[in-house]
Amino acid sequence: MKTRLRPVGGHILDIEPAELSDQVLSLAKNVHMRRGFPSRIRGRRSVYTTFPTIPYHLLNFTLNDFNWWLMFGADNIYALETNNSYDVSIPAQSAITNPYQWSSTLLNGIPCFTNGLNAPHYWTGDSGDDALPLPGFPATTLCKFIVAFRFHLFALDIDSPSGVFNNLILWSEATEPGAVPQSWTPAADNEAGSAFLADSPGRCVAGVPLGTQLMIYKPTSFHAVEYAGQQPDNIFVVRPVVRSTGLISPHALKTIGVNQAVVGNEDVVLTDGINIRSIADNRIKQTLRNSIDEENSQNVFTIYDDHARELWVCVPEPGSQFATVAHIWDERRDNWVSRDLNAVKYGTTGFVTDTAPSQVWDDDSQPWDSDLSVWNEAQQGGTQKVVLAENAAVYVEDVPETNIVNAVLQRLDLTFEDDEQRKVTSRVTVEGKGTGLSTLFIRMGARNSTDDGSGVVWGPYVQRKAEGNEYEVAGRYISVEVSNNTSAEPWTVTRITIEAENDGEF
């Protein structure tokens, strides 16, 4: 008898492996599903190596005809352009201890930011300028989060001379293109104002625009802010939307088309500003909830890779301050895989132009038909990439480098449609595509019970053979694992076939 696995469904972590269909894996780690089947992720390389800080937050933008990265450290800020770095820190900048304390946004292409300890600032895009305080922001007042919406800046979770109001939002006057607002004080001739979001408990965690609305999230609810433009007291209208779902941390949401992906305390949902839909339920929801370090849950962050259409939910596991795993949702195929992370503080997408390659036509050695780069790519970048702030370095992901991560596919506790029978395997065949198939290693394992706490007893690793590998293990439940060694060659696994015979009832 044979069992054939066609792993088109990613992995499911919340259902017992013996109950899974033949299209789903028990673990798909350090792979992607962009070809419909699990494929080894490409490499990564260190970028922007000249900055003398440990980055806690990243922001990529184009300003004054340059592709800039702002890298926010614990107590400094550096602006990077190609291989140049400039200290643009806030004068007498206070030190933060966690990535969630930084918040940044772009208004008219101008970066504005806050760390919750200094007044909110902006940067002009001139390498000779330090960060400057936002004009007109209330004196001796701090905010925990800042976001641009329409022609205004919004400040959330306010600490003022009158007290701490974590459900208060302030917004600036409207500003002209290419400028930052000059006033936050309401007046008859401007659109500045404020509102308390007091009809649900908790602080204002974060806000992100969604279409014509600004969605503001609390831990257990979220609100919509809409422009009305009626002087003097009806500039923005705030209304509650959902009172049952909120946001776990300031950087745990991303806009995806007409929806926002929101990581709450117990789920990952999509919302269009009215309805909500879980994309984690019965797949990774329980695993995600149990795998986040409670003390450092505010360091959860998300990345949306527009090019690959993948949402990364990056979490610190128990005992870790920074993210150690990314649960990755493939939007096209609605399935999940995971990715190992190494104490990552923050991640985003952007154009990586850390070097200044030659602009001489003859120096581009790639064939015309296969060269995907853009002319003058040194200034604007070719394709947005995922960029991770990891320890004291920054890495760009999914590039053809040899610095790779081992990938693992597992399917545990196969029953061959009869969990009363003991099985003896004879052969395993792994099929797929790519020059890296020959570098794959396979092992099989077995056990007789799934509820006595005993783990899978694994056999030795063997290198994959195209015609299949003879492999014998015995037990009621059969497991298989496929992994790559340090080879950089690409591979995609499309089918795993296991041959076995019954060996009597257990």
pLDDT tens, 230-251? Answer: 877 788 999 999 988 999 999 9
With 70 as the cut, is the pLDDT of residue 261 above it? yes
For the entire predicted model, the pTM comes to 0.93
pLDDT value at residue 51? 72
3-state SS, residue 225 = strand
d(C-alpha 79, C-alpha 190), whole Å:
33
Residue 451 has a pLDDT of 84
Closest CA to 223 of 179, 260, 267: 260
> In a 10 Å sphere around its CB, with 0-12 CB exposed, 13-18 middle and 19+ buried, how is residue 289 labelled?
middle
* C-alpha span between 388 and 186 (Å, rounded): 40
Residue 170 to residues 153, 178, 183, 193, 380, Cα–Cα distance (Å): 8, 21, 11, 6, 34
Residue with the two structure tokens 């909110």: 120
In what order do the strands lie in the sheet containing 84-87? 57-63, 66-72, 77-81, 84-87
Q: Given pLDDT bands bounded at 50, 70 and 90, which one contains residue 362?
A: low
Q: How far is CA 129 from CA 90, 99, 126, in A?
A: 10, 24, 6
Distances 202 to 95, 136, 216, 226, 300 between C-alpha atoms, Å: 25, 28, 12, 21, 18
Single-letter code of the amino acid located at 395: Y
Percent of the chain with pLDDT over 70: 93
Model confidence over 295-309: pLDDT tens digits?
A: 999 999 999 999 999
395 and 47 Cβ atoms separated by less than 8 Å? yes
| 214: β partners | 209, 225
- The pLDDT confidence band at residue 360, using thresholds 50, 70 and 90, is low
Short-list 226, 204, 227, 229, CA closest to 216? 204
How much is the mean pLDDT over the chain? Answer: 92
Distance CA 469, CA 491 (A): 18
pLDDT at site 381: 53
The pLDDT, as a whole number, for residue 231 is 76
Chain centre distance of CA 229: 35
pLDDT of the residue at 368: 52
DSSP E strands: which ranges in 332-437? 335-350, 385-390, 393-399, 408-414, 421-433
Token pair recorded at residue 500: 């076995």
- Burial of 36-55, coded b for 16+ CB within 10 Å and e otherwise, reads ebbbbbbbbeebbeebebbb
166 close to 157: Cβ distance less than 8 angstroms: yes
Q: Hey, which residues does 136 pair with through a beta bridge?
A: none
Can you tell me the distance from the alpha carbon of 323 to that of 227, in angstroms, rounded to the nearest whole number? 36
Question: How much is the average pLDDT of 152-171?
Answer: 97
Mean pLDDT to the nearest integer, 330-337: 97
Where does the pLDDT of residue 43 fall: very low under 50, low under 70, confident under 90, or very high at 90 and above?
confident
Residue with tokens 């908790």: 202
HSE-CB for 435 with a 13 A CA cutoff: 3
6-28 as b/e: b if 16+ CB within 10 A: bbbbbbbbeeebeebeeebbbbb
Please say whether the beta carbons of 428 and 468 come within 8 A.
yes
Asked if residues 268 and 261 have their Cβ atoms less than 8 Å apart, the reply is yes
pLDDT one-digit tens code per residue, 409-463: 999 999 999 989 999 999 999 999 999 999 999 999 999 999 867 899 999 999 9
Q: In this structure, are residues 483 and 440 in contact, taking their beta carbons and an 8 Å threshold?
A: yes
Measured CA distances, 103 to 46, 206, 276, 304 (Å) = 24, 9, 25, 17
List for the chain the helix, strand, coil content (%; round to 5).
Answer: 5, 45, 45
3-state SS, residue 184 = coil
Say which residue the tokens 């009626």 belong to: 230
Question: What 8-state DSSP symbol labels residue 83?
Answer: T
Rounded distance between C-alpha atoms, residue 454 and residue 418, angstroms: 20
CA–CA distance, 325 with 100 (Å, rounded to integer):
17
- What's 49-71 look like in SS3? CCCCCCCCEEEEEEECCEEEEEE
CA neighbours within 13 Å on the CB side: how many for 369?
A: 0
Residue 466 CA to residue 361 CA, distance in Å, equals 43
